């Protein structure tokens, strides 16, 4: 259906694959192919279906519909090992090697050179040295793997994967934990792979990398392929708009969120001030201020440091440097308790792992963070807990059988409201909302958005992180855009448009919104689009 076929038949392809999970259609008739000797970028935001597709291609999952083709013939891998043996190598973000075994053992695990039924160590070490020098890794291969740097480990993983006659190499965020120098080596290796006619699938959120080394790109969104084509022909802005699901042309009209728009700024003294937040690899000097009654949006792609910024402010991320102060008073200790005491509440993105206490009741979950202030001398005042729980269950319209119902039995939207209630019960001055409407139903989404408005109107400072551009544009008074852990742009007032946001995220100079929309920026071009 898509994509030019220039270099002969695909080495690996998915034909109309569909994969369901309970309640979710993770992949919907997806076509994808890798040609020999190409580096094919696979991009998409959270939940787009990238990992599901990779797992299908590598035999971890089997498709519910459609099928795979490998070397020109339909295949069905019984498991990841079969796919590996057939020549599909995968390198994950987190290197899955054995840290205590030697480098050489790791490299040859499962296919050690043997003599008289025993491992021929001399040969294994010699071959390991030779193999690794091709990847720029010069180490004593007899030492345990864990003594190597992350980058070197990644190279060992790569050498191991490619060494076994791979025809396809799938790399999932390979550079996320690498130093710049190591990234260069990786790119050189990818160049060699390309020359050897190996197909490479490259998953990354770093646009610069994609444009540097990828030949083609496939964009996934909500389980569907929305674009396939040559990397160089796809403008950055366009790529962003495809990933985020916002068309460049049709961003002008009124949205469908329930935000009211501008918020009155009561005073100009910032309620929250964060300066030079820095954490190795993740944040590089992020500063921001929020005034009372102001909703500040935090935009950027996945992995740009939005969540980390919120965590840093909330005392949940160890920092190398940086200061946070609330109403001019610095938060001295870097701990969640200190941040909470200062009046900072953080609604986490990962509701299940960082939010709810699943086996506990709605009541316990709401009261959790406020327990110290709902008690005296360590004794919980049930009367005060009841009151708080009643107030917030009513105000947020939490649908539950009663306060004693287990929170794990509620819908996602109601769980989210319970967590919001948990933070509101603290009567915070600043609320950090990380993807507050992700994964919840439309009704709950509208309620949450309206609530954010109300809270701002009451004088709360709000930091709103969202991948939903519309939500940012309509919910925030001001938007900071992050990239690679640093602020790369700020839009405020009338500048906050989806177009301008996408331009900043793409790294293009900000131009007036109308100007560029006029020069075409075609939303649907030829046969590229798959709707």
Partner 1 sequence: MVRAVSGVRPRVDRATLLAWTRDYGVYVGVAVIVLFNIVFTPNFLSLENFRVQAVQVAPVLIVALGMALVIATGGIDLSVGAVMALSASAIALYLGYGPVVAVLVALVAGAAAGAVNGLLVAFAGIQAIIATLALMIGGRGLALVLVPRLQGIRNEDLRALGSGSFLAVPYVVWIAAVLVAVVVFLVRRTVFGRGLVAIGGNRRAAELSGLPVRRTLLLVYVLCGVLAAVAGVLTTARLQASDPNSVGVLIELSAITAVVVGGTPLTGGRVRIAGTIAGAVLMQLLVATLIKHDLPPSWTQMAQAAVIIGAVYLARDRRRT
Pick one of 60, 71, 341, 510: the residue that binds partner 1 (CB under 8 A): 341
- Separation of CA 240 from chain center: 14
Tokens of 35: 């040609």
Q: At what angle do helices 442-457 and 412-424 cross, to 10 degrees?
A: 20
Contact between 27 and partner 1 per CB under 8 A: no
Nearer of residues 260 and 375 to partner 1, judged by Cβ: 375
Return the bridge partners of 492, or none.
478
Among 47, 355, 428, 436, binds partner 1 (CB under 8 A): 355
Min CB(139)–partner 1 separation in Å: 29
CB of 346: closest distance to partner 1 in angstroms?
7
The span from the CA of 40 to the CA of 257, in Å, is 35
Residue 378 in contact with partner 1, rule: CB under 8 A: yes
Determine if 368 is a binding residue for partner 1 (CB under 8 A). Answer: yes
> Is residue 353 a contact residue for partner 1 (CB under 8 A)?
yes
Q: Is 425 in the site for partner 1 (CB under 8 A)?
A: no
Which parts of 321-408 fold into alpha helices (H)?
336-342, 351-354, 362-367, 382-395
- Spatial contact of 26 and 51, defined as CB atoms under 8 Å apart: no
Q: Which of 81, 122, 252, 380 binds partner 1 (CB under 8 A)?
A: 380
Give the number of other Cβ atoms within 10 Å of residue 353's Cβ.
Answer: 8
Asked whether 170 and 91 are in contact (CB, 8 A), the reply is yes
Min separation Cβ 440 and partner 1, Å: 18
Which residues make Cβ contacts (< 8 Å) with residue 97, sequence separation at least 6? Answer: 106, 145, 153, 156, 157, 160
- What are the tokens at 156? 């060992």
Region from 35-43, 70-78, 363-371, 437-445 binding partner 1, contact rule CB under 8 A:
363-371
Nearer to partner 1, 68 or 340 (CB): 340
Instruction: Retrieve residue 445's tokens.
Output: 């989404």
Q: List b or e across 53-63, with b for residues whose CB sees 16 or more CB atoms inside 10 angstroms.
A: bbbbbbbebeb
Give the Cα separation of 306 and 141 in Å (integer): 39
Least distance to partner 1, CB of residue 422, Å: 7
For residues 325 and 375, which CB has a smaller minimum distance to partner 1 in the complex?
375
Among 17, 107, 316, 418, binds partner 1 (CB under 8 A): 316
Got the DSSP string for 259-288? --S------SS-SEEEEEEEETTTEEEEEE
Beta carbon nearer to partner 1, 165 or 427 = 427
CB of 237 to partner 1, least distance (A): 36
Stretch that binds partner 1, among 40-48, 69-77, 138-146, 348-356 (CB under 8 A): 348-356
Report the candidate in 353, 346, 445, 345 with the shortest Cα–Cα distance to residue 408: 353
Return the residue of 176, 177, 260, 360 that touches partner 1, per CB under 8 A. Answer: 360
Q: What is the DSSP letter of 333?
A: S
Choose, by CB under 8 A, the member of 422, 429, 478, 483 that binds partner 1: 422
Letters for 260-299 (x = contact with partner 1 by CB under 8 A, - = none) are ----------------------------------------
Residues 451, 423: contact at Cβ < 8 Å? no
Shortest distance (Å) from residue 344 CB to partner 1: 10
> d(Cα 13, Cα 70) in Å, to the nearest integer?
6
Under the criterion CB under 8 A, does residue 23 sit at the interface with partner 1? no
Residues that bind partner 1 (CB under 8 A): 21-22, 314, 316, 335-337, 339-341, 346, 348, 353-360, 364, 367-369, 371-372, 375, 378-380, 382, 422
């Amino acid at each position: 259906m898509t994509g030019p076929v220039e270099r002969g038949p695909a080495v690996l392809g998915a034909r109309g694959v569909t994969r369901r999970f309970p309640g979710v259609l993770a992949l919907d008739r997806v076509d994808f192919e890798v040609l020999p000797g190409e580096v094919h970028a696979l991009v998409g935001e959270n939940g787009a279906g990238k990992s599901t597709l990779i797992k299908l291609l590598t035999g971890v999952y089997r498709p519910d519909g459609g099928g795979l083709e490998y070397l020109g013939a339909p295949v069905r891998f019984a498991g990841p090992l079969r796919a590996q043996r057939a020549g599909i190598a995968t390198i994950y973000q987190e290197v899955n090697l054995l840290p205590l075994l030697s480098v050489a053992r790791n490299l040859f695990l499962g296919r050690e050179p043997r003599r008289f039924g025993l491992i021929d160590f001399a040969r294994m070490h010699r071959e390991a040295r030779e193999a690794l020098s091709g990847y720029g890794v010069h180490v004593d291969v007899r030492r345990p793997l864990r003594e190597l740097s992350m980058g070197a480990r990644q190279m060992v993983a790569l050498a191991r994967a490619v060494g076994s006659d791979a025809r396809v190499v799938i790399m999932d965020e390979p550079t996320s934990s690498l130093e710049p120098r190591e990234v260069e080596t990786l790119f050189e290796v990818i160049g060699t792979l390309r020359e050897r006619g190996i197909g490479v699938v490259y998953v990354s959120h770093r646009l610069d990398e994609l444009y540097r080394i990828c030949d083609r790109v496939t964009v996934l969104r909500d389980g569907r392929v929305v674009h396939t084509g040559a990397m160089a022909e796809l403008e950055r802005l366009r790529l962003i708009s495809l990933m985020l699901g916002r068309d460049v042309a049709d961003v002008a009209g009124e949205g469908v969120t329930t935000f009211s728009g501008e918020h009155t700024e009561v005073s100009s003294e910032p309620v929250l001030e964060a300066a030079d937040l820095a954490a190795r690899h993740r944040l590089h000097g992020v500063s921001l201020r929020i005034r009372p009654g102001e909703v500040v949006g935090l935009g950027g792609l996945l992995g740009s440091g939005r969540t980390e910024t919120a965590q840093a402010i909330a005392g949940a991320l160890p920092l190398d440097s940086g200061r946070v102060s609330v109403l001019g008073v610095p938060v001295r200790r870097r701990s969640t308790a200190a941040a909470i005491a200062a009046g900072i509440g953080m609604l986490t993105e990962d509701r299940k792992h960082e939010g709810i206490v699943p086996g506990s009741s709605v009541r316990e979950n709401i009261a959790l963070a406020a327990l110290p202030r709902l008690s005296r001398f360590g004794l919980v005042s049930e009367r005060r807990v009841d009151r708080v729980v009643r107030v917030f269950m009513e105000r947020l319209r939490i649908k539950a059988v009663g306060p004693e119902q287990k929170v794990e039995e509620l819908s996602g939207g109601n769980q989210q409201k319970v967590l919001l209630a948990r933070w509101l019960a603290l009567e915070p001055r600043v609320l950090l909302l990380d993807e507050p409407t992700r994964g919840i139903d439309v009704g709950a989404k509208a309620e949450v958005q309206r609530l954010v408005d109300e809270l701002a109107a009451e004088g709360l400072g709000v930091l709103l992180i969202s991948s939903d551009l519309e939500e940012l544009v309509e919910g925030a008074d001001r938007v900071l855009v992050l990239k690679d852990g640093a602020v790369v742009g700020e839009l405020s007032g009338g500048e906050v448009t989806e177009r301008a946001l996408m331009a900043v995220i793409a790294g293009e100079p900000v131009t007036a919104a109308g100007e560029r929309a006029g020069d075409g920026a075609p939303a649907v071009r030829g046969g590229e689009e798959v709707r």
